[in-house]
Chains A and B, each alone.
Chain A
């Protein structure tokens, strides 16, 4: 979504905020415009800059370094972490507020060691624990590309962190405890494609940033790589070979198609993954998407977890709600419409142990990621105004235990808590719902 839509008038209601398309002033530089900008051979270090442009897409830099209504790469997006809100930095070429005065050495140090321009520790919300596996050559290319960006003079808000974490020196201790001391090591026993996939997934792609469960310090839980995580009230599903909650039922082609277009025969990329499609994986090459898929398909299945049997009453009530509220798109028996409205049977996302993602989807709705070949930002509407917490819990329980799905029942109290977090206690239908 990089064409400009300027929406004047009243804005600011919860539902429309969540689903509105990014708005930019008509003169704005758009993410898609930047990521597809052509660099002529005559441009200085054109080959390096083009490579950097590609890597910036592979690293999904824009998803975080773009705030709503802001300029791409100028930062200012608040990342909600369990420790408080961290605002992303300005990485345009502006000398005062961006990284225009940095050297490539300084940039490499940030990417590799998590150090700022003056050697200060950066918070690991900036994914240097993954980026440290990126090669120096690639870092230099990224830096060269970022230096071509139009300078945007903008200072993001100050971080809003809980007391002790305000002291960046604590990050040093965190690094000692949790930072992988190794750069990327190719596995000679695996194919070049697998190794390329490993480099992307564990390096620039920083997939584990969301998809690996975190410990109480916000670091990856050891030996649980890509077994599913949680961020900002969304659940990032298990990406291992687990057939129920992971990618066990997906082929390499399925994964590649999903990354390219935000949709495939199994699922659609909503929530936070929509932006990954919008600003990252839809721009990388088919070869790289396949490499990622090959690597992910090699991940051993996470251990299976037994799920409690749902209450018959919840299942009955849930079936009725499904029929009234869901079946018009997802159809009877949850068969869905391929690549439009995902089928719901044997669905990994729906069966995640943590049902937050499903609850969030029903409460707030979502819009799926787009690409040039699949531009429709198909949306799931919000049902927060229509369904009670108990109804959302019942229909979630029903969906999680129908058509081959099996997962723990959902509790109304959890839906209630999430509703508060998302500030969806009272919602009007749309911002212009006042009938005349």
Chain B
């Protein structure tokens, strides 16, 4: 039984159907497919998809409440902003950018590695509650490799089986294989970024992408076409079959399986447990006509988005809810996000032509990510990649104007016209360390259309995140200046987290993994410590968030979980790790 059909649902569905299990997936949103729902003729509609949230969760049915700290009253997010929650078949996997990153080997050892190098205070300052993951990069590597092959990831390896490769990311963990496809063609902006980075002694390389650099057939036989660089990836579905998604990479294969069933517009309300609460018996769900059903299941896999998985755990009474006052309990603990900032670059003499773009079209440097640099004396841990990135030149969202330009009116129009073709943005994609006061629980007041309590998010950036982000924004500004532009504009991450401006849909934690039931919700195979036939997928398992996009890591974790289910659990259903 799969709850939700995005990336992890698709991966688990494929793995478990191949193992001969009878798999039913329930997806709360609608069926979606390329030629009917985001065909080339209308996929690039910014107003419809980006601003009117066509592919996203309808917040009048269900949303969450938000506050920065426990002293505030949380209020419902009535319009999506900081993050854009997906729904429907493929979910976020439909409207992501296709940025495919592996975390660094040290990212899985956030606590022990940093403590060893920088001392105890480095990992406990600012009320941080960072943890090790309970797995190593080496354990996860084969599963990263599986996801790369599934997606046809493009890129250039920087570390092949321990040997550093020219042209790739020299800081990455060892890869067992080269990328399945060569890097995308770098357009002018990213090329300028790369040259400037080299001048500064950095190590630029092409961003790994799930946007295809050439036609690709994956190991399941699913086919993708070459990307047209139309610049409509994030918030949009791809009409050209050029972006890796559950639709393009897994569904064609799964739909041939007689032991696979996908039901759309069926929302799971809760996981049902036996009286002793040690075993799930199935789920209760409601269809679009409002009728409730019980779906029995031997195994329940929560493969919805982070926030829904955590909420279902809380609503179903699986695991002990986290209490920020005492620090006890685990469900909802260590919610984290992504600390984003940017630097805009404006030229007089260079035509960047930003409308030629793709979700992950960028040249990036990783010199200041994770622990790739000495943090001694800096007062923070973590880091970011910095990308000279052109995800697109979408006319409403992506017109950059210089510092002190009014936000509207004649002066804005002149600045927009002057700068649109001659500017682009460097993205600083920063880590976010977990902290004691950042967590998820059930809201005491607000309920959804089914009468269930909404999820309540309590979150603010920590001082660690701000220091990291400021330091990294300065490093990006150095590269920006080395490109010799007319001017640059720094968009720092200042003040408390705000739910209004879009930042990124990389919510993590709340159902974190770890090496024992006291510090985590699930074991390293994403299996609930409390109810061993329940598994919770996704970025909810991250004990804190690294300076990379989360998709490849959560996909690799799903593959690793599937492996353990197939090789151990099916033979002997029960805990895969003794608590």
Contact = CB atoms under 8 A, between A and B. Distances in A.
* Interface majority SS (helix, strand, loop, mixed), chain B: loop
Given A6-B264, A7-B264, A328-B239, A380 B30 contact: no
B202 interface: no
A3 B258 contact: yes
A65 interface: no
A338 B215 contact: yes
Contact of B264 (A5, A337, A341): A5
Interface stretch (B221-229, B276-284, B351-359, B370-378): B221-229
Interface of B: 24, 30-31, 33-37, 39-42, 48, 52-54, 58, 60, 215, 220-226, 228, 230, 239-241, 248, 252-258, 260-266, 287-289
B42 A329 contact: no
Looking at B35, B37, B257, B264, which has the most chain A CB atoms within 10 Å of its CB?
B35
A224 interface: no
Interface string A374-394: 111111111101100000000
B176 to A, nearest CB: 26
Contacts of B58: 436
Interface string A1-35: 11111111100000110011100001000101100
Given A6-B263, A372-B256, A19 B36 contact: yes
B44 to A, nearest CB: 10
Nearest to A340: B225
6 contacts: A4-B261, A8-B264, A372-B221, A382-B35, A430-B37, A436-B60
A7 B215 contact: no
A375 B35 contact: no
Given A8-B288, A432-B30, A436-B52, A3 B257 contact: yes
Interface in A309-362: 325, 328-329, 337-341
A6 B369 CA distance: 44
A329 B248 CA distance: 15
A219 interface: no
B68 to A, nearest CB: 27
Given A8-B265, A325-B40, A376-B248, 4 more contacts: A7-B30, A372-B221, A375-B255, A380-B35
A373 B53 CA distance: 36
Interface string A274-298: 0000000000000000000000000
Contacts of A30: 258
A383 B41 contact: yes
Nearest to B222: A376
Contacts of A432: 30, 37
Contacts of B34: 379, 381
A378 B39 CA distance: 11
A400 interface: no
A4 B225 contact: no
A386 B225 contact: no
A105 to B, nearest CB: 34
Contacts of A380: 35
Contacts of B240: 328-329
Nearest to B30: A432
A376 B35 contact: no
A5 B256 CA distance: 11
Nearest to A435: B52
A4 B54 CA distance: 26
